[in-house]
Structure 1
């Protein structure tokens, strides 16, 4: 940290100007773990917002995975309260996988951040990623054989259906953020997860000095990511046009792909469009690895001979096109309590009514559930939904009465309308809103060190 200069208020204001416009009295949320990056961001944001008559809402997500995490979240709350910054702590919602991987924790963190922002009416969520984070992401994706989408690294701005993510510090070195806190006499939390050698990102961090000695410095990696980001934006425009021609996405969460339109597209465009379709239907945050994606795309161009699976989806050749549907066996059930909200299976936002009689389990019907339901309501046997879609439909089950499979305790299947007269009592909100939408705002790139986008 020796010699690093703190980030000044004027410098940070110029960075934030790149994300204009904001409201006349801007309200911005900041994801803060207590580490130096997110804590420096939060304090810089607080000063910036206060100077404009606005405010910052800091959000800490405690996954409950480390015993000391709860105390750290309270410490962050105290530090920010002393500086007049509003703070919320969010915990894991619903059932937790038996083995929580980094991608599970990351997905849960973003879901909780979005949930708090929606509840508080905040439209901008700032993240503390910096130059080293971006470079590490590029190297991770290079190792994973990612295509252009991955190698472009992190976007300075990403628009979601309900808010936008902004990264004002993305081209700054970590040392300047630590210097910013030191200048304010503010300490920070050192998360031991960031030193765990079992994590690939930590392993890469250890070899970065040697890479820099060989000329592969952080600025050079970031410059490469910026150039690739510009190319990515051009290709995304072509992908949007292809998706509009070749894909029909159903509100029940499945899609139809026109293989003729897909086959006419260049691989650089078609492969990325296919990845976006798999994300929208499968609910994942990151696309499948490049090799597997390219092989599937090649089969689609040649004429898909049989059902294939990738990215949590089944691709099934049919006369009207290729049916793309969620692999329902891979969906993780989520238990909700009255008045709570969660993103289920990465695809559907569900809010259980505060008037609900008790907790509910949201999970796919499965084959047994569909069979029991259609036996109860024979008219469903001739329903227009394709057969492979039916077991993948999410149902709302009364957790007090649900059994193993079947339709025991089934209160509602919203994509089929009500199953019981009590359905309205159970649900306050239900909408298909995948973490990664089929289309959206293009990749945002900073063109230079002045952070002009």
Structure 2
């Protein structure tokens, strides 16, 4: 039986990735799986050539496997015409059978605007994935982006993990972030979009020399992403990524052997078994990040110092000499409105729709008047998430303690889901 003819996107994609087979994109997706029989994905689409190419390629891929794709278009509101551009991109996608949602961020101008825009965009896409039952968020970073990232991190003094660049896939709470075209050159992606007859949106900030990444792009002098410098940086990132993967496997094994992580947001370490070697330092960094509710792990020097002392505070977490690692009470986030999808303190994700008029925040001093189960250290109890009445601050429920009963706030769950992803 003859093979099916490739789609226009696949046909264009085929010859442009050096040395890649015809099914390059399908092969890249297979390395990121398994996806199951009917995968649901969200693709971040800015309207630029690379994210547009990703959407076109993913549309073919989900059609071939019975999945579904939703494009997330984030309007940062940083340019007067950004709203009109977002609507135009949504129209392009709709004409090709790709549903899209536009999400407005309305970011205020100011310092670190690009970093704030990236984080806001990512959070908007993750919320969209959760709302639509999608388990994956696909981003369109390519080989040139990887090269620039490695250079940026080298200039910032990053260690081995940072020099591994962007991961092809990583956990981000309720969804997995994947980068299916990370090995692809920008020229190949531009050609996919050209073959589809689209003229992509060009963000002028990408060439604005006031931004470090734009200056590095000029220094590389490789707009097609196929030059020797880009190739060398991408190869270096791949080598560091292999080392990172090896270390993460060792970290997972060490945590399984010498630590216990509670769904109540604390951990117990067997410090003698935990050790003080490079694996122990990486494992403690991962645990501190999760328990402290941070997006990124603390600096290696701080982790080594804490491990050497055997006790102390770091990154919003406190390590006791008995091996108890818990959230630092003084660093807890303030209470926030209880609603589906909110993450409190960078650690606990609320799912389900709670009754109106509730806040979620730290149990605090109210813990003193409640019965405490044997598994819960007294010092940890005030750091537990609880529901309070917004009008008078009265304690309503503490799900992890089944207070006032196991049926309190039915259909609502507070799950330990660290902002930076799973431990390890």
Compared CA separation, residues 29 and 103, structure 1 to 2 (3 A): same
Asked whether 1:363 is paired with 2:361, we answer yes
> CA-to-partner distance for each residue in 1:11-35, whole Å, 9 max, x for gaps?
4334334345444455433121222
Give the Å deviation of 1:157.
2.7
Alignment partner for residue 257 of structure 1, among 269, 276, 280?
Answer: 269
Alignment partner for residue 83 of structure 1, among 96, 99, 110?
Answer: 96
Corresponding residue of 1:7: 13
| CA distance in 2 between partners of 1:385 and 1:414 (Å) | 14
Give the Å deviation of 1:154.
1.9
Corresponding residue of 2:401: 416
Corresponding residue of 1:296: 303
> CA-to-partner distance for each residue in 1:321-363, whole Å, 9 max, x for gaps?
24232455353654345xx322333321113526x234x4333
| CA distance in 2 between partners of 1:206 and 1:387 (Å) | 56
| CA distance in 1 between partners of 2:189 and 2:331 (Å) | 44
> CA-to-partner distance for each residue in 1:177-232, whole Å, 9 max, x for gaps?
2222122221223334434555443343343339x9xx971110110111111122
Alignment partner for residue 309 of structure 1, among 302, 314, 322?
Answer: 314
Asked whether 1:34 is paired with 2:34, we answer no
Corresponding residue of 1:350: 350
Compared CA separation, residues 104 and 253, structure 1 to 2 (3 A): farther
Corresponding residue of 1:432: 416
Corresponding residue of 2:331: 329
Conserved? CA contact 1:64–1:92, under 8 Å:
yes
Give the Å deviation of 1:10.
4.3
Give the Å deviation of 1:79.
1.4
| CA distance in 2 between partners of 1:187 and 1:349 (Å) | 40
Conserved? CA contact 2:306–2:314, under 8 Å:
no
Conserved? CA contact 1:314–1:326, under 8 Å:
yes
> CA-to-partner distance for each residue in 1:220-272, whole Å, 9 max, x for gaps?
01101111111222222211111112222121112223332233x522x2222
Alignment partner for residue 271 of structure 1, among 277, 281, 289?
Answer: 281
Aligned length: 404
Secondary structure at the aligned position of 1:300 is classed as helix
Corresponding residue of 2:386: 395
| CA distance in 2 between partners of 1:295 and 1:423 (Å) | 41
| CA distance in 1 between partners of 2:210 and 2:386 (Å) | 37
Larger RCO of the pair (alpha carbons < 8 Å, separation 6+): 1
Query: 408-417 or 100-109: which moved more?
Result: 100-109
| CA distance in 2 between partners of 1:395 and 1:277 (Å) | 23
Alignment partner for residue 167 of structure 2, among 155, 172, 177?
Answer: 155
Given the two structures, how large is their TM-score scaled by the length of structure 2? Answer: 0.80
RMSD between aligned alpha carbons?
A: 3.7
> CA-to-partner distance for each residue in 1:395-414, whole Å, 9 max, x for gaps?
33333x15xxxxx2443333
Corresponding residue of 2:253: 241
| CA distance in 1 between partners of 2:250 and 2:170 (Å) | 18
Secondary structure at the aligned position of 2:245 is classed as helix
Structure-to-structure mapping, 1:16-415, within 5 angstroms? 16-62=29-75, 68-90=81-103, 105-159=117-171, 162-195=174-207, 197=209, 199-209=211-221, 217-263=229-275, 265-267=276-278, 269-289=279-299, 293-301=300-308, 303-304=309-310, 307-310=312-315, 313-318=316-321, 320-326=322-328, 328-329=330-331, 331=333, 333-337=335-339, 340-351=340-351, 353=353, 356-358=355-357, 360-365=358-363, 370-371=364-365, 373-374=366-367, 377=369, 379=371, 385-399=376-390, 401=391, 408-415=393-400
| CA distance in 1 between partners of 2:204 and 2:408 (Å) | 45
| CA distance in 2 between partners of 1:53 and 1:115 (Å) | 23
| CA distance in 1 between partners of 2:79 and 2:294 (Å) | 25
| CA distance in 2 between partners of 1:276 and 1:101 (Å) | 28
Give the Å deviation of 1:129.
0.9
Given the two structures, how large is their TM-score scaled by the length of structure 1? Answer: 0.76
